[in-house]
Chains A and B, each alone.
Chain A
Amino acid sequence: MSLRRRLLVLFALTVFVSVAAVTGIISAMARSAFDRANDERTNALVAQFRREFTRRGEEVSRKIQAIAATSESNRIAIAAAGSSPDYSVFLDDAQTVAETHQLDFLEFADDRGTIISSAQWPAKFGYKEPLVTPSPSADPFLKEEETPGGPALGLFGIRGVAAGDRKLYVIGGIRLDKTFLASLELPAGMRVLLYENVDRDKFLPDHLIGAADSKIDPQEFAPLIRQVQQSNAQQNPVETGAVIHENSGQSSGDDETVNAIPLTGDNNQLLGVLLVASSRQIYTELSGQIRSAALLAAAVGLVMAVLLSSWAAARVTRPVEELAHAAREIAGGNWSAQVKSTSRDEIGQLAESFNHMTRDLLDQRDRLVQAERVAAWRELARRLAHELKNPLFPLQLTVENLLRAREHGQQQFDETFQESASTLLAEISHLKNIVGRFSEFSRMPVPQFQAVGLNQLAEVVVKLHKAQLNAAGRPPIESRLELSAAGHIAADPELLHRALSNLVLNAIEAMPDGGVLTLRTRQGFTSAYIEVSDTGIGLSQEDCARLFTPYYTSKVGGTGLGLAIVQSIVSDHGGRISVSSEPGRGTTFMIELPANRDKLPATTMPVGMSEPEENS
């Protein structure tokens, strides 16, 4: 990933994290504030509900009081006070009175607790009512009342009617059911549900009731009710609350804060749980709006962050990229590459330093080239002097012999002349040879590419030097050909032949005691290889390092140009030459030549010149 992209990502991430953090903090603070406000509202609503509940209880008490004061109650009280009251005449009385006073439950019982008439269960005459005690509670209370349809929770009151020394008790109440819940005057956004705790240990969904038009999902409230049941089981019924997401409530997707108020009867027995739910819709909507605004701000911030980061990253990385580009130019050989400096900051100083450095490098290179050129001339002069000095000295001696021979007479001169002439011619020939080789080195031709088979070339070279391999006066040299370069490459056959011949001659000279000369060829995917190995005297590491330097030779009488010519030829073909040698074990020259197929016109492709196979 480029520096610009990395900087872009870094800048964008930084801005995004910052915006997200700010958004989260604002959202959390808003939620906390809303929760506090909602709690306060819920508490106020619950308090209002408690007042309503108390009011309904007092209403029940007033009704019971009113029934106790009626002539009907007095009539029953007087009849019940008799020795053998006829209950049959009162069978329907409780029902009639209950309907008149709009009560769901009403029983008349004598002071022994025997039910005389029951509205909720008329057949219960003669059974005992446990609520009848010598001093029953005057306050309204909760009670689980048995009915033919099962237990029902009610808000009850009890009053006594005196008849002589006997008493009649009027016990009545209203049922806490859908109708009761629907009749409660509740503030907007609030609803009440009732759980009848029929089974003390389990949650029974069918016993959770709401107002008549209320739809509820009982399982939403199950954990809360179980919590109340558990606290009741520990003899410590406490009010508890929770936030419930109610899907089927007053409005779809409306969260509610639900307070669970335990309804207890005698001995703190948990008779029911009143669930007072207040809608969190307002707060949920506000919270949603804040969240939406925060998300919008975050999105805008992110876009801005990307744009600004892109601009900033471009501004920061442009000089660096120019520096990198200039560095690549220099690496590519353009030592004159310069960087434009537009600022005085660290980047500007870096650009100035870079430009200064390139200028220094150019100066140093020029000086180095100059120095090398001088050194080369000196070396050439030294070589020429050395090469020319050797034949000049015999020439001088021969001419001086001729001069002395002339002084000794014609006969001696003639004898010396013949010998000296031969020597002079030989030395002059030697000088011409030296001059020719220097001339040849200076006039290396440009390769003329055509299809060349390395195998054939190697065979030709070895065949040409067959005589030298078996020269008289020294042990013969065995030649071996290990040829596996099946294809052709584009090369100049004359130059390659010359290079190979040089290497073969060097190898022959390196084996004065005989040995083995090996030529190997092999084909690569894009290159071909040819090796020339001997088992001769070998070279030192220093010789190997300097072997291709012009005019360097390890042989007596060598010009030091042979291997330089070989390297020049290989280099002109775009190839490489290397040497590996070990003193006493022989030397191996390895040439790698590119296929150079692009340098060979298609029309000139010879028959039989095939592309190297990829898997070969």
Chain B
Amino acid sequence: LAESRPHYGGTLRVAVKESPQTLDPAAQGVPVSISRMIFETLIALDERGRPQPLLATSWQSDPGSQRWRFFIRGGVSFSDGSPLDSAAVAASLRNSNPQWKVSAAADMVMIETESASPDLPAELALARNSIVRRSDAKLSGTGPFAIAQWDAGKHVALIANEPYWAGRAFVDSVQIDVGKNDREQMLSLDLDKADVVEVAPEDIHRARAENRTVKASEPEELMVLVFTHDPSSDDETHARNALALSIDTAAVNNVVLQGGGEPCGALLPNWMSGYAFVFPTAANIEHARAERMQAKHLPAWTLGYDPLDPVARVIAERVLLNARDAGITLQLISSSGSPDLRLVRIPLSSSDPHVALTALAEAFQLPQPRFENASAAALYSAEKSMLQSHRVVPLLHLRSAVALRPNVHDLNVLPDGTWSLNNAWLSGEKP
């Protein structure tokens, strides 16, 4: 019975693939899960992507959604012991968002943006907007853990933040090895050198088949074909349509990814938008050929992919095969070249659909989507508009997952793919 109750103590060992050179959340490439262990944001998103209070207890905006006021939670301190106040929050937000006009007043922070920002609370929930205290080269956050040791690109040692405002974490410390590939992570798990490792989407099925404890997220990463330029003619538009119709994403998901994703015809996953099923996902080779026949002059495209990603290579080769069935010629090149289209994996930055779609548009170098209002219809319209640019062909939404040793309990994997150790505890063999 005692083994089923959470208890304090122990060191949790984690291995991750990313290899960050800094832990500052404002920088790119910092794993969100690690960042959220150390730092917190004013707002958090719940499982349905709705803003919830975190370091801010409440917020208000003017009718134009340009001026926002966030009331700071009291009794919160950074891991270095300094209290969290509006000035520290304002300083942190100014650092991560120089374009914002941020001012502090008593227990409140006021943010003024250049244009209407109805999704500002969701945006503040992004890890890059975490509240960070920067003194010299030292970073302090208000999260459940504090940085004990940082060996850039190799290892992070975290210790429990004793005065954490939401209650101390169960584990005393977390040792994180960064820059470990899939095979090394799984090997560490098997050799009892790690308690938590990441599992690639294509390995989820196998890991479960091997009776490992696997916790997977909702589909939170988009695999997509991105054209580097707009179609230059009707012929090219037809050819792009034919390519999109020819790709058998179900076979790719079933065989290559072993069910680690979901075939998609939309940019946002269904759990996030609620309408993704409207976009067809099944290949239709007859329609593809018919589209191709409408193109008098067929372009010969080059398809780039990440050569370090073995799954990407196989999927790219499958796309080449499917395209050839439709009469379209593709040539594979490594991503170091300048391909006509690229096969890329883009993590969805937020569980808020508006923020996520806006980030995708930015990643695709498309115009920012315009949302008429906060309704699902406006979201659908904006997403459809992006798809009709013929610049992107969504293929799959991928899940992220972690594999755990049996002694790890209550580790939560959130819908956006991040995992929380706030309530995790170790049992039995690691008292």
A122 to chain B, nearest CB (A): 5
Interface residues in A107-162 (C-beta closer than 8 Å to B): 121-127, 148-149
Interface residues in B363-396 (C-beta closer than 8 Å to A): none
Task: Choose among B258, B259, B315, B317 the residue that contacts A121 (Cβ–Cβ < 8 A).
Answer: B317
Q: Report if A91 contacts B (CB, 8 A).
A: yes
Q: In the complex, what residues of B have CB within 8 A of residue A91's CB?
A: 255-256, 258, 314
Interface residues in B242-263 (C-beta closer than 8 Å to A): 251, 254-256, 258-259
Q: Given the known inter-chain contacts A88-B258, A148-B332, please indicate yes or no for A126 contacting B320, CB distance below 8 A.
A: no
A176 to chain B, nearest CB (A): 22
Nearest B residue to A87, CB-CB: B255
Interface residues in A37-90 (C-beta closer than 8 Å to B): 87-89
Task: Choose among B205, B316, B317, B332 the residue that contacts A88 (Cβ–Cβ < 8 A).
Answer: B205
B253 to chain A, nearest CB (A): 9
Q: Given the known inter-chain contacts A123-B314, A123-B315, A148-B332, please indicate yes or no for A88 contacting B255, CB distance below 8 A.
A: yes
Q: Report if B318 contacts A (CB, 8 A).
A: yes
A431 to chain B, nearest CB (A): 138
- Count contacts on A: residues with CB < 8 A to the other chain: 13
Q: What 0/1 pattern do residues 299 to 341 of B give for CB contact below 8 A with A? A: 0000000000000001111101100000000001000000000
B256 near A127: Cβ-Cβ < 8 Å = no
Q: In the complex, what residues of A have CB within 8 A of residue B259's CB?
A: 88
Task: Choose among A88, A89, A123 the residue that contacts B318 (Cβ–Cβ < 8 A).
Answer: A123
Q: In the complex, what residues of B have CB within 8 A of residue A122's CB?
A: 314, 317
Q: In the complex, what residues of A have CB within 8 A of residue B251's CB?
A: 125-126
> A124–B314 Cα gap in the complex (Å)?
9
Q: In the complex, what residues of B have CB within 8 A of residue A121's CB?
A: 317, 321
Q: In the complex, what residues of B have CB within 8 A of residue A124's CB?
A: 317, 321
Nearest A residue to B332, CB-CB: A148
A145 to chain B, nearest CB (A): 14
Q: In the complex, what residues of B have CB within 8 A of residue A89's CB?
A: 206, 258
> A125–B317 Cα gap in the complex (Å)?
11
A88 near B254: Cβ-Cβ < 8 Å = yes
Nearest A residue to B252, CB-CB: A123
Task: Choose among A88, A148, A149 the residue that contacts B256 (Cβ–Cβ < 8 A).
Answer: A88
Q: In the complex, what residues of B have CB within 8 A of residue A123's CB?
A: 256, 314-318, 320-321
B138 to chain A, nearest CB (A): 46
> A88–B316 Cα gap in the complex (Å)?
17
Number of A-B contacts (CB under 8 A): 37
B283 to chain A, nearest CB (A): 12
Task: Choose among B206, B258, B321 the residue that contacts A127 (Cβ–Cβ < 8 A).
Answer: B321
Nearest A residue to B253, CB-CB: A88
> A517–B55 Cα gap in the complex (Å)?
158
- Count contacts on B: residues with CB < 8 A to the other chain: 16
> A125–B205 Cα gap in the complex (Å)?
18
Q: In the complex, what residues of B have CB within 8 A of residue A88's CB?
A: 205, 254-256, 258-259
Most buried by B among A87, A88, A91, A121: A88
Nearest B residue to A150, CB-CB: B331
Q: What 0/1 pattern do residues 191 to 219 of A give for CB contact below 8 A with B? A: 00000000000000000000000000000
Q: Given the known inter-chain contacts A88-B205, A148-B332, please indicate yes or no for A126 contacting B255, CB distance below 8 A.
A: yes
Q: In the complex, what residues of A have CB within 8 A of residue B315's CB?
A: 123
A148 near B320: Cβ-Cβ < 8 Å = yes
Most buried by A among B206, B255, B259, B315: B255
Most buried by A among B206, B258, B259, B332: B258
Q: In the complex, what residues of A have CB within 8 A of residue B205's CB?
A: 88
> A35–B321 Cα gap in the complex (Å)?
51
Interface residues in A410-468 (C-beta closer than 8 Å to B): none
Q: What 0/1 pattern do residues 488 to 532 of A give for CB contact below 8 A with B? A: 000000000000000000000000000000000000000000000
A296 to chain B, nearest CB (A): 61
> A293–B332 Cα gap in the complex (Å)?
60
B7 to chain A, nearest CB (A): 40
> A267–B327 Cα gap in the complex (Å)?
26
B314 to chain A, nearest CB (A): 5
> A91–B321 Cα gap in the complex (Å)?
16
Interface residues in B194-233 (C-beta closer than 8 Å to A): 205-206
Q: In the complex, what residues of B have CB within 8 A of residue A87's CB?
A: 254-255
> A149–B302 Cα gap in the complex (Å)?
12
Q: In the complex, what residues of A have CB within 8 A of residue B320's CB?
A: 123, 148
Most buried by B among A124, A126, A148: A148
> A125–B314 Cα gap in the complex (Å)?
11
Q: In the complex, what residues of B have CB within 8 A of residue A149's CB?
A: 332
Interface residues in A80-106 (C-beta closer than 8 Å to B): 87-89, 91
A148 near B317: Cβ-Cβ < 8 Å = yes
> A127–B251 Cα gap in the complex (Å)?
11
B248 to chain A, nearest CB (A): 8
Q: In the complex, what residues of A have CB within 8 A of residue B255's CB?
A: 87-88, 91, 125-126
Q: In the complex, what residues of A have CB within 8 A of residue B318's CB?
A: 123
> A123–B318 Cα gap in the complex (Å)?
5
Q: In the complex, what residues of A have CB within 8 A of residue B256's CB?
A: 88, 91, 123
> A149–B315 Cα gap in the complex (Å)?
15
B318 to chain A, nearest CB (A): 4
Q: In the complex, what residues of B have CB within 8 A of residue A125's CB?
A: 251, 255
B100 to chain A, nearest CB (A): 46
> A268–B386 Cα gap in the complex (Å)?
52
B82 to chain A, nearest CB (A): 53
B97 to chain A, nearest CB (A): 43
> A126–B251 Cα gap in the complex (Å)?
9
Most buried by A among B206, B254, B258, B318: B318
> A363–B205 Cα gap in the complex (Å)?
142
Q: What 0/1 pattern do residues 129 to 151 of B give for CB contact below 8 A with A? A: 00000000000000000000000
> A91–B310 Cα gap in the complex (Å)?
12
A74 to chain B, nearest CB (A): 20
B334 to chain A, nearest CB (A): 12
B330 to chain A, nearest CB (A): 9
A536 to chain B, nearest CB (A): 115
A sample of 9 inter-chain contacts (CB < 8 A) reads A87-B255, A88-B255, A89-B206, A91-B255, A123-B256, A123-B318, A123-B321, A126-B251, A126-B255
In addition to A91-B255, A123-B321, 10 A-B residue pairs with Cβ atoms within 8 Å of each other are A87-B254, A88-B256, A121-B317, A123-B317, A123-B318, A124-B317, A126-B255, A148-B317, A148-B320, A149-B332
A-B complex: 7 closest residue pairs judged by Cβ atoms: A123-B318, A123-B317, A88-B258, A88-B255, A148-B317, A122-B314, A123-B314
